[in-house]
Chain A
Amino acid sequence: MKTKTLGQRLSGLPKHVVLLGVCLIWIVPTIGLLVTSFRPAQAVTDSGWWTVFNPPRGKADYQTFCAGCHGENGDAIPSANLSDPALISEFKRSIQLQAVLHKEFNGQPHMGDVPYPNDQQTADILAYLRVLSGIQRTQQFTLDNYIDALVGYRGSGTYTQDCAAGTQSVDLKCDFFDLANPRGMARAFLNSLIVAIPATIIPIFIAAFAAYAFAWLHFPLRLWMFALLVGLQVVPLQMTLIPISRLYASLDMNGTFLAVWLFHTGFGLPYAIYLQRNFLGSLPRELFESAYLDGATHWTAFWRLAVPLAMPAIASLAIFQFLWVWNDLLVALVFLGGEHPVLTYQISNMVTSLGSGWQVLTAAAFLSMLLPMIIFFSLQRYFVRGLLAGSVKG
């Protein structure tokens, strides 16, 4: 390996600038969501989330005009201890502070040869002094939004405040059971799991049989049927919603988990069969031949040979199907609705009804992304593999 010359490094620079720029644009919106979800409601409406990275308001001005004599912490002059809440609470408005600044102390101007701060700066300094003396608690981050989201709190304060004051709404009990509140995200999270897990396992399981048949069994019109399957993958969901709604309505199945499991199974099958068939078909035929020569039936070959060997493909498929179901809004909206609200349904309701503030909405959104993100970052390999479906062996 020869080291790069400066010229070579520089010629690669635009590439890195573009690449890192794109990465930045991609990540910043998500960071904004995450930061906001931890900020108190008031702070969210008062200032942009990026201000949490700024020093507190007035700190710079304090350092310019005051810290020279009063010290960084305000306690350098004992007779005028700025960190004393009793002293600072005397200044209700910044004009009072302004007046003191213009007074003389021991025959000397207050500020000495330091210039006077203007009105805005004085106000900022006072705001900072309130924080410094501890009169105003500046809580930068809080978990309240997540608690509110989980229990489905809707009110002007926070769940913790209301429960402490005993003014919570009637459907909240202020104990552990609030997590089961049907309006809450905790319940929605559970519902999403109840929907997604069977809706992942059932289609993959059924597809495995069909895929085995397409790969290793002989029957008429095999290729023709498989081509049809490829076509079925493109049929849009919308094409089937109406008749299935009507069917479910006549069977009184709307709003049941079974309805959603079956629907997702139907729609997951073409892809699940396609992927597994391609994978099974790529296994060496000698493997199967020798199994049969040893007296294995198709049934044992399927369970003992095909399924274990197809595990990598099944893993990719499972991730894809799980995320698809977990993230789906349309099917949940149509067949589950408010009966068993899932995460996407709850969030879309919160967005469109504008009932809750950004702080709870961002917390709820982040809760819904938690599991997909964990799956994505820990199983990214399988995720990408599922996407490239069969172009790489294994």
Chain B
Amino acid sequence: MVPADAAKVPRPRVKMNTTTVPKVMQQGAITPWLYLLPAIVIMFIFIVYPAANTFYLSFRNSTNTDWASAACVPAEPCWGILENYRYALTSEIMRIAFFNNLMWIVIMVSATVALGLLIAVLADRVRYEPWAKALIFMPMAISFVGAGVIWKFVYDYRPGSDQIGLLNAIVVALGGQPIPWLTVPFVNILALNVVGIWVWTGFCMTILAAAVKGVPSELLEAGRLDGAGELQLFRHITVPIIMPTIAVVVTTMVINVLKIFDIVYVMTGGNYGTQVIANQMYIEQYTNFQTGRAAAIAVVLIAVILPAMYFNIRRFREQEATR
């Protein structure tokens, strides 16, 4: 539930006359900076400086007393000053984290976008549309921690046939054996993903529903007159028109998934092979006190996110250009 992410989604279509400020409003050269100063100072202290500092720390050892190369042991592989990156990119636990984040991206992004689109299209102009949408959207308002508790209870496991977790009760009722959803490898990744999907589908749905409603009804009507079925209309008219929005939602979701932390922290703590990049970074810094390694992981994280950042800025420039 990162508010910052919401910003990437919308495309303000309103005309803005901001490229030129009216003549009468011209002011002294100092005035704008007075308005900007508090924001710039705070953003510099809390975003720009720390980001740069993290970059620097990623080349330092765990206590920031020497370069990372000091931790090298003779006769063992070492990347010199990039030693922390050797850990961040090649260590066993980080390989698992990368793989898991990749799984998260594949499973959760595709599921949230597909499901969000499905609901957006199905619920469009249904009598109970507001209710259905409010229901799907509701998890967005609560915390990942709360969502974690809700689902941990659904996944509750105990041996035997008396289950208090809903999912295992269903499995048992269908004649199966109860499954420890959160400890079995791969199954637990899926189980955690379901929580993420539960939380984020409402977000995708809301953005996509706005786009679906924006599809000109004349186009759909014309298609219908030509004898196209609803499925064809969806494939050949709706989807192409809302494609830019889908692209934005996918980018936003990829960023969100890369930063995923709370769900894993609360539900498995990264154990049983469910580690993700953001959680491992937290562990390196606050459990293992390996500041250098944690910083390197953070840098790797932003490096992965960078393309999305570029995409965002480019889209913004295009938007401004067409104004």
Interface contact A352-B266, CB-CB below 8 Å: yes
Interface contact B152-A215, CB-CB below 8 Å: no
Chain A proximity of B286: nearest CB distance (Å): 7
- Determine chain A's interface SS by DSSP, over half rule: helix
Q: In the complex, which of the residues B8, B38, B46, B166 contacts A233, with contact meaning CB atoms closer than 8 Å?
A: B8
User: Known interface pairs A244-B46, A281-B18, A289-B24. Does A234 touch B308 (Cβ–Cβ under 8 Å)?
Assistant: yes
How many residue pairs bridge A and B at CB < 8 Å? 346
* Residue of chain A at shortest CB distance from B51: A239
A308 in the interface (beta carbon within 8 A): no
Q: How far is the CA of A361 from the CA of B32 in the complex (A)?
A: 51
Q: How far is the CA of A234 from the CA of B9 in the complex (A)?
A: 12
User: Known interface pairs A347-B146, A388-B210, A391-B210. Does A238 touch B286 (Cβ–Cβ under 8 Å)?
Assistant: no
Interface contact B16-A213, CB-CB below 8 Å: no
* Residue of chain B at shortest CB distance from A28: B166
User: Known interface pairs A33-B153, A330-B282, A351-B152. Does A242 touch B146 (Cβ–Cβ under 8 Å)?
Assistant: no
Chain B proximity of A229: nearest CB distance (Å): 8
Stretch at the interface among A91-99, A124-132, A153-161, A370-378: A370-378
Interface contact B149-A298, CB-CB below 8 Å: no
B184 in the interface (beta carbon within 8 A): no
List the B side residues contacting A389 at CB < 8 Å: 6-7, 9-10, 12
Interface contact A391-B11, CB-CB below 8 Å: yes
List the B side residues contacting A44 at CB < 8 Å: 164
Interface contact A216-B10, CB-CB below 8 Å: no
List the A side residues contacting B316 at CB < 8 Å: 226-227, 230
List the B side residues contacting A390 at CB < 8 Å: 10, 12, 14
* Complex interface bits, B52-89 against A, C-beta within 8 A gives 1, otherwise 0: 01100100000000000000000000000000000000
A243 in the interface (beta carbon within 8 A): yes
List the A side residues contacting B135 at CB < 8 Å: 23, 26-27
Stretch at the interface among A60-68, A103-111, A318-326: A318-326
A217 in the interface (beta carbon within 8 A): yes
Q: How far is the CA of A48 from the CA of B165 in the complex (A)?
A: 7
A380 in the interface (beta carbon within 8 A): yes
Give residues in A with beta carbon < 8 Å to B: 15-16, 18-20, 22-23, 26-30, 32-33, 36, 44-50, 206-207, 209-210, 212-219, 223, 226-227, 230-245, 247, 262-263, 265-271, 273-275, 278, 281-282, 285, 288-289, 292-293, 298, 302, 317, 320-321, 323-324, 326-330, 334, 343-344, 347-348, 351-352, 358, 361-362, 365, 368-369, 372-373, 375-377, 380, 383-384, 386-393
Q: List 13 A-B contacts (CB under 8 A).
A: A15-B126, A22-B136, A23-B136, A32-B153, A233-B312, A242-B50, A243-B50, A267-B47, A329-B145, A348-B148, A375-B141, A376-B140, A376-B141
10 closest A-B pairs by beta carbon, nearest first, are A266-B46, A327-B143, A240-B50, A376-B141, A243-B53, A210-B39, A213-B35, A243-B50, A219-B32, A390-B12
Give residues in B with beta carbon < 8 Å to A: 1-19, 21-22, 24-27, 29, 31-33, 35-36, 38-40, 42-43, 45-51, 53-54, 57, 115, 118-119, 122-123, 126, 131-132, 134-146, 148-154, 156, 162-166, 169, 198, 203, 206-207, 210, 255, 258-259, 261-262, 265-267, 269, 278, 281-282, 285-286, 291, 294-295, 297-299, 301-302, 305, 308-309, 312-313, 316-317, 320
